[in-house]
């Protein structure tokens, strides 16, 4: 856990960030948010024994984060469904309610130009 925090802190340095992105660059994956192409995904999540024991789907430590924008696998999936499957970006006169908003997805939906975008979270201000 401490190593991941140290890596996140180090990536605030522009030179270290560029080196990190070059190290992980590749053609295996492409982030639909930022377009970064990588050979692998970054580690995300928390490694709690109870999550493994209870086999909680989508929880625990996994490889699923974008090295460039920090989006999670869940955010990217929801974005692709909204954009490509539901084609909601073509109906921008509509409203959207985003419960428990994730940061990267929320920023993208705000920028999309919906008539009304409402975020709802028990522990987030605003």
- pLDDT category of residue 10 using cuts at 50, 70 and 90: low
Tens-digit pLDDT profile for residues 70-118: 999 999 999 999 999 988 888 768 888 899 888 899 999 989 888 888 8
What DSSP line would sit under 80-96, residue for residue? HIIIIIS-GGG-TTSEE
Helix or strand (DSSP H, E) at 120 = strand 116-120
pLDDT tens digits, 22-63: 999 999 999 999 999 999 999 988 888 898 888 888 788 889
Average confidence score pLDDT of the chain: 86
Q: With both helix axes pointing from N to C terminus, report the angle between 73-80 and 103-112 in degrees, rounded to the nearest 10.
A: 20
């Amino acid at each position: 856990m401490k190593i991941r925090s140290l890596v996140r802190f180090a990536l605030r340095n522009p030179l270290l960030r560029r080196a990190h992105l070059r190290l992980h660059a590749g053609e295996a994956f492409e982030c639909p948010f930022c377009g970064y192409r990588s050979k692998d995904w970054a580690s995300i999540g928390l490694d709690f024994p109870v999550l493994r024991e209870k086999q909680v789907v989508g929880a625990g430590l996994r490889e699923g984060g974008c090295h460039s924008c920090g989006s999670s696998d869940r955010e990217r999936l929801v974005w692709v469904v909204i954009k490509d499957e539901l084609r909601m970006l073509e109906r921008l006169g509509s409203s959207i309610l985003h419960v428990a908003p994730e940061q990267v997805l929320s920023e993208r939906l705000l920028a999309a130009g919906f008539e009304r975008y409402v975020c709802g979270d028990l522990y987030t201000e605003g």
